[in-house]
Structure formats: C-alpha cells, structure tokens
Amino acid sequence: MATVEPCRLRDAELIAEIGERTFRETYAADTPAGELERHVAEAYDPARIAAELLDPESTFFLAWLAGVTAGYMKLNRGAAQTELREQPGVEIENLYVLRAHQGRGLGQLLMEHALDEARRAGAEYVWLGVWERNLSATRFWEKQGFVEFGSHPFRFGEIEHTDLLLRRPI
C-alpha cells in the first residue's frame, strides 16, 4: 500500500539520499562525473535540506510503498518559489520517485497530494520545471493536465540544461 506523509526535520538525511539517487538516475548519462558530484554534494547536503525543511513556505512529503521509502515531493509557496513567486501559485520543486518504484502510481499519488495542498493554500494553479530531455517525466506531467508556458536554464557547475516550465490550474 502506498502512502504520503509530511516530512519532519529528522527526515533530512532520507530526503537527501532519495534526491541524490533520483538525480543520478536522471542526469548521470548526460553529465560529466565531476559536475554531477559537485552538484549532488551541494544540492543534497542534509544540512541544506534541513534548512529547507525549516522554511515555513516549503513543505516536503515522503512517499512510502509497502513500508519502503520510494520518493519525495517538495512544494513551495510565496517567496520560497524558485522563479514565479506569485501568490496564486504553488511550485512543485521536486517530485521524485526512485526508478525501482516507478510505474506503481506513486507519482499520481504525490500529484494528487500536491493539488490538495495547493487548494488548501488557496492557489489558483501549480507549476514546475522539468528537464526537456526527461521525456517520461514530461509525458507524466502532460497526462496530469500541465501545459508548457515557458522555459528556463537549469545550471549546475559548468553544465546548463533547459527546463520546460509547466502549469496546471487547480
């Protein structure tokens, strides 16, 4: 059985581990090893995650499948949003499901949870950025009713990728 639970400060290391693993699964084949290592060391540092967990405008959730942690999601509101920072919107900054657990409905479950949270926050829409070459993720978001409204660079180290910006009304 799959469940979604809010994260607590003590979950910082677990979130960092899942984030690093899913990032490697997605980007390792297209990123020089040194750049990848530098990025995961910074982005998935448990201390950094702990600081993000303390931000009142960000909320993390863990996804569990049969008692095993299978993914996580991070939602941002207001000034915590990475780009738009518009009050009527909620950003899905991360919705990561480990490759071994994909195709089991966890992404859908997390997405429904995101919509519920956005409704509670009074949002009019949810938005996110997805790497343009991550075709499976792009197809998932399109099936969820998201449409492209722009793009932005996603830079780590000397590498620059392009993220498509997608939005869906609540």
pLDDT over threshold 90, residue 10: yes
Provide the residue ranges of all domains of the chain, joining segments of one domain with +.
Answer: 2-169
- For 49-61, how does the pLDDT look when each residue is reduced to its tens digit (9 = 90+)? 999 999 999 999 9
Q: Is the dihedral of CA 81, 152, 124, 136 positive or negative?
A: negative
CB atoms within 10 A of CB 86: 15
* Residue 76 near residue 99, CB atoms below 8 Å: no
Q: Quick one: pLDDT at residue 83? A: 86
In contact, 84 and 118? CB cutoff 8 Å: no
Tell me how crowded residue 30 is: count the other CB atoms within 10 A of its CB: 11
* CA-derived radius of gyration, the chain: 15
pLDDT of residue 132: 93
Q: Which fold has domain 2-169?
A: Aminopeptidase (3.40.630)
| Model confidence pLDDT, tens digit, residues 98-125 | 999 999 999 999 999 999 999 999 999 9
